[in-house]
Chain A
Amino acid sequence: MKCVNWGLLRLSELVTLTVNGNKYTAEKGQYILQVARAHGIKIPSLCNLDAVEPYGACRLCIVEITRGTRKRIVTSCLFPVEEGLVVETDSPRVVGNRKMLLDLLLARCSENKVIKQLAAEYGIEKSSFEKEYWTKENCIVCGLCARVCEQVVGVSAISLVNRGITKGPASPYLESAKACIGCGSCYYACPTGAIKMEDKKGYRYIYNWKIKYRLQKCKVCGIEWAPEKQLEYIRKKWDLPKGFFDVCPNCR
């Protein structure tokens, strides 16, 4: 599925759905999560970001839908709305499942602030799994970093490699990511702060992808404001003159 600009779909078919007992109108093709959030209904999620295609990795956005006499749990970020759909965002079954998910995530990310806080909101202070299985991992393998790198930045410098319990985001051959431009989009997109980035002494480091890029110094104020490689990438992409980024946006 391609990324759709919702603004262009104004004339599309409208459907009516019920969320937590209230009726809402939505455009066909929208996802439950989108519609719910647009109306201020809270559904937790970690791997969802407006800028990229929904992926359904964290599964925290699960809701219960009723079609006819059947009830089902679905990930709301990936489930398109339809006429007459009945959605419950906090039914006992949803809350129970969500608690289990958070319990599992908390066992994996036992010291992660975001996960701990989310779990606490559902009354989980400590993972119920035995302590020997706890890890101090920060990454929940939602792949948001890789998706942003591909769909927003367009360089695909990183990807999810391996499979099963060894799966995780990484640079090709686990070496320094050649295609990385050092923009840090992965760092900003990561919902759990698993990516370590730092600007230090004229260089940008993204430790996860083993990169170290020189930062561009503004010729006027001397501030180091972005990696040279990123600016060069933008300059080429937009066909801007050489030296266009010599001065930082504040001094321009």
Chain B
Amino acid sequence: MKDAVTAIIKKYGNDKSQLVSILQDIQSEYNYLPRTALDKVSKKMGIPQSQVFALATFFRAFSLKERGKHIVNVCLGTACHVRGGELILDSLQRQLGVNPGGTTADHNFTLESVNCMGCCATGPVVKIGDEYFGHMTNDKVEPMLNKYR
């Protein structure tokens, strides 16, 4: 773990203004922001712990809680909302047995809602990892999840 964080900080040349990018890279490494990593960033870069914490809590894309292997993002933005995004979220909640923000017991999935992914034409949209699933219906939820099970 230590080396990965050090390498990321090095990649950005210890530049304080790149803190968001650094946290993003750390998050893609571990799927969340481990506290030890944040403390390391704070120490190595000379940024007060409080400011790193403020930034990490400001953006919803950052998670301070450990997350599963696959992150399931359900879009609840305006376009997806009117096309039934809530129903898809409902269905996912039932199938995974977790509320938004929760992680399944096997640490395979974390369910999260987002407020727009910029692909409203294909709504309702669900994103798992880097893959987008457009025109979602309740029927498509299970086959979609099975790909990652």
Contacts and interface: CB of A to CB of B under 8 A. Distances in A.
Contacts of A178: 49
B57 A161 contact: yes
A173 B35 contact: yes
A215 to B, nearest CB: 24
Contact of B50 (A162, A163, A177): A177
Nearest to B52: A172
A159 B54 contact: yes
A161 B49 contact: no
Interface in B86-104: none
A173 B53 contact: yes
Contacts of A157: 48, 50
B54 A161 contact: yes
A156 B54 CA distance: 11
Contact of A159 (B35, B53, B59): B53
Interface string B58-88: 1110000000000000000000000000000
A71 B54 CA distance: 36
Q: How large is the interface on B (under 10, 10 to 19, 20 to 34, 35 or more residues)?
A: 10 to 19
A115 B60 CA distance: 31
A240 interface: no
Nearest to A162: B57
A69 to B, nearest CB: 37
A177 B48 CA distance: 11
A160 interface: yes
Contacts of B58: 161-163
A158 B57 contact: no
B51 interface: yes
A156 B48 contact: yes
A157 B49 CA distance: 8
A155 interface: yes
Contacts of B57: 161-163
A179 interface: yes
User: Which interface residue of A157, A173, A177 has the most chain B CB atoms within 10 A?
Assistant: A173
Contacts of A172: 49-50, 52-53
A162 B57 CA distance: 5
A89 interface: no
Interface of A: 146, 149-150, 155-163, 171-173, 177-179
